[in-house]
Structure 1
Amino acid sequence: MELRDIEIFLTLAEELHFGRTAERLHVSQARVSQSIKQLERRIGAPLFARTSRRVEPTPIGRRLREDLAPAYRGIHEGIARAVAAGRGVGEVLRLGFEAPGVADLVADLLDAFRDRHPGCAVQIREADFADPFGLLRAGEVDALITLLPVDEPDLVTGPVVYTEPMVLAVPARHPFARRAHVTLEDLARDRVLRAANPPAPYWVEPPAPWHTPGGRPVERGEPLETFQELLATIANGGGICPLAAHATTYFSHPRITFVPFRGSPGVDWGVLWLRAGETARVKSFVDVAAASSPARRGAPS
């Protein structure tokens, strides 16, 4: 049974007139009659009682209409939703953020996207600390703002949306807390903490011992499961940890001091999406990000 034949049957069951059905569907009246006859032959019973004055569905016709109408509406609604998602019309752009604070730092980018698509809302989701790609791969977000670099075969890396320097999070009573800045060489002077379960092989650090750029060994602490656990360990003197500079504002803590690095590389946050999941909505967001990302720079406060 073709979808067009179902459409003709349901329209005739509503209009109860072959001429009006043909006019509404922009087909000939003969096409309507042929379709109904073929359907009746397939069913093996009349679907409409026809007289020279009126057309009425038979009991079998009424039952078939009741069975088919919800499914037919569901098919069209599903297609409409797919078309809307593909075109980015009247939908929601779901953005995941590995670091929720970065959503505030790129507020101008989100505003620019909203200006281009006023009918498209932006929904913010926080990605898991240990598995930032999980939401994206599960289809729960359309794109992800995450720490670069990323090199995954199923993911596409787009433009950098925010660049910021690094700071060193140390206990408030640590000797580094009284300094104006630190360098990467200072990492050799205390235990350096790290997150658990790196989500990708290229983020896995080499076997111990680790070394500073000058060759000094670095002691690494046991991996921590959550960011809050990381902060609590630092506050209680368990070690130090390099962080992106926005942590100074977004994760202030009475027992933690954030000391700026001098001469360290910056931290890049970029947009990421599924290779098989690029919609017009995602493409538009990436275009806006690419047009404005060079001017988006952060600094420690």
Structure 2
Amino acid sequence: MELREIEIFLTLAEELHFGRTAERLHVTPARVSQAIKKQERAIGAELFKRTSRTVQLTPIGAELRDGLARGHRQIKEALAAAAAAGQGITGELSVAYSAPWCGSLVMAAADVFRERHPHCVIHLHDSQLNDFLGPLRESRDLQMSELPIDEPDIVSGPVLFTEPRALVVPAGHALAGRDTVSLEDLATVPLVTIDGQPRYFLDLHYPHRTPRGRLVPRGPTASSWQEVLALVGAGKGASPTCARAARYYSRPDIAFVPFSDAPPVEYGLLWSATRNTPRLRAFVGTVLETAAAGSAA
């Protein structure tokens, strides 16, 4: 669920009226209805009970409202902090991103931030997959990466955007000719994994069993994304990724096949809990604004 959809859901949960919600958010009632239907399809349950006269939250909808409201307050507080910091933000910020599509959003936000705070210098970096938390703990200010990250010393911001998941396989593999693959297909090919990532992160992105309980075999490990692609191209296994990777990493020896049933990959900002400076908060606010405006394409 992306930021605009969260805003639509929370506003409708408060107004309980599609027309007033649309008016508050300066969109059409049809846009509100489409967003809610999309959320309900993704969750697999009704969030609102609608009649010709009333709109009411379902128990699941009320639970979702309570959970999302906390994160939404954090977003608003970050934006307020950025606005309060205003002029006078100086110094340097070191910002990393784990993938080109994350870099697009970070760079768009950096352009806006430089216009607002011309005396603050932003350094952009490509993060290393096998140690993407190390620099964050040592010296880096911010990072946009795949989620989830659950570390006591790392702050994990809200989900900024999501991407459909795909499986990258050797070009000659039987799965390469398919229109889609399923999570059950993971039992038929070894997974190439990344060294140095938290166990819970690996377990989510590289599952050990399929939904039906079949064992997912393990292939070799890699220390970088380019090494993953080289191993896959050499026929050593396959690797889950996001579908957009096909646009950036096309090679003749690999194929990207979309999943038909896998959850999307979520992306968000990470920063050290000990490095909560005004310029960091201002940049976080700018990234949130940029993502909400749809500049993550």
TM over 0.5: yes
Contact conserved, 2:136 with 2:272, CA < 8 A, in 1? yes
> What corresponds to 1:159 in structure 2?
158
1:181 aligns with 2:166: no
Q: If the length of structure 1 is used for normalisation, what is the TM-score? A: 0.63
* Deviations 1:117-176, CA, capped at 9 Å, x for gaps: 23333211122221101111111x211111111111111111223321111101111222
SS state of the match for residue 215, structure 1?
A: coil
Separation (CA, whole Å) in 1 of partners of 2:109 and 2:160: 8
Separation (CA, whole Å) in 2 of partners of 1:100 and 1:153: 27
SS state of the match for residue 263, structure 1?
A: coil
Please list, as runs of the form range in 1=range in 2, the aligned pairs for 1:140-159 lying within 5 A after superposition: 141-159=140-158
Contact conserved, 1:106 with 1:162, CA < 8 A, in 2? no
Larger relative CO (CA 8 A, sep 6+): 1 or 2?
2
Please list, as runs of the form range in 1=range in 2, the aligned pairs for 1:92-111 lying within 5 A after superposition: 92-111=92-111
Separation (CA, whole Å) in 1 of partners of 2:275 and 2:88: 13
Contact conserved, 2:106 with 2:287, CA < 8 A, in 1? no
Separation (CA, whole Å) in 2 of partners of 1:209 and 1:167: 14
1:168 aligns with 2:167: yes
> What corresponds to 1:193 in structure 2?
192
Separation (CA, whole Å) in 1 of partners of 2:180 and 2:154: 37
Contact conserved, 1:195 with 1:226, CA < 8 A, in 2? yes
SS state of the match for residue 131, structure 2?
A: coil
> What corresponds to 1:246 in structure 2?
244
> What corresponds to 1:227 in structure 2?
225
SS state of the match for residue 130, structure 2?
A: coil
* Deviations 1:165-197, CA, capped at 9 Å, x for gaps: 111101111222211111111111111211122
- CA gap of 1:160–1:117, structure 2 versus 1, over 3 A, is farther
Separation (CA, whole Å) in 2 of partners of 1:209 and 1:109: 33
Separation (CA, whole Å) in 2 of partners of 1:209 and 1:193: 11
> What corresponds to 1:60 in structure 2?
none
Contact conserved, 2:109 with 2:287, CA < 8 A, in 1? yes
Q: If the length of structure 2 is used for normalisation, what is the TM-score? A: 0.64
1:279 aligns with 2:277: yes
Work out which of the two has the higher radius of gyration on C-alpha atoms and give 1 or 2. 1
Contact conserved, 1:159 with 1:286, CA < 8 A, in 2? no
**Cα drift, residue 236 of structure 1:** 1.0
Amino-acid identity (%): 39
- CA gap of 1:142–1:108, structure 2 versus 1, over 3 A, is same
Please list, as runs of the form range in 1=range in 2, the aligned pairs for 1:20-35 lying within 5 A after superposition: none
- CA gap of 1:103–1:88, structure 2 versus 1, over 3 A, is farther
> What corresponds to 2:45 in structure 1?
none
Separation (CA, whole Å) in 2 of partners of 1:183 and 1:114: 44
Separation (CA, whole Å) in 1 of partners of 2:234 and 2:160: 34
**Cα drift, residue 251 of structure 1:** 1.6
- CA gap of 1:291–1:193, structure 2 versus 1, over 3 A, is same
SS state of the match for residue 115, structure 2?
A: helix
Contact conserved, 1:163 with 1:297, CA < 8 A, in 2? no
- CA gap of 1:260–1:219, structure 2 versus 1, over 3 A, is same
Separation (CA, whole Å) in 1 of partners of 2:107 and 2:202: 31
Contact conserved, 1:156 with 1:273, CA < 8 A, in 2? yes
* Deviations 1:248-294, CA, capped at 9 Å, x for gaps: 12222111111111121111111111111111111012122333435
SS state of the match for residue 276, structure 1?
A: coil
**Cα drift, residue 232 of structure 1:** 0.8
Structure 2: give runs of 5+ residues left out of the alignment: 1-86
Please list, as runs of the form range in 1=range in 2, the aligned pairs for 1:9-24 lying within 5 A after superposition: none
Separation (CA, whole Å) in 1 of partners of 2:273 and 2:259: 36
Separation (CA, whole Å) in 2 of partners of 1:125 and 1:183: 34
- CA gap of 1:209–1:105, structure 2 versus 1, over 3 A, is closer
Contact conserved, 2:220 with 2:236, CA < 8 A, in 1? no
SS state of the match for residue 95, structure 1?
A: strand
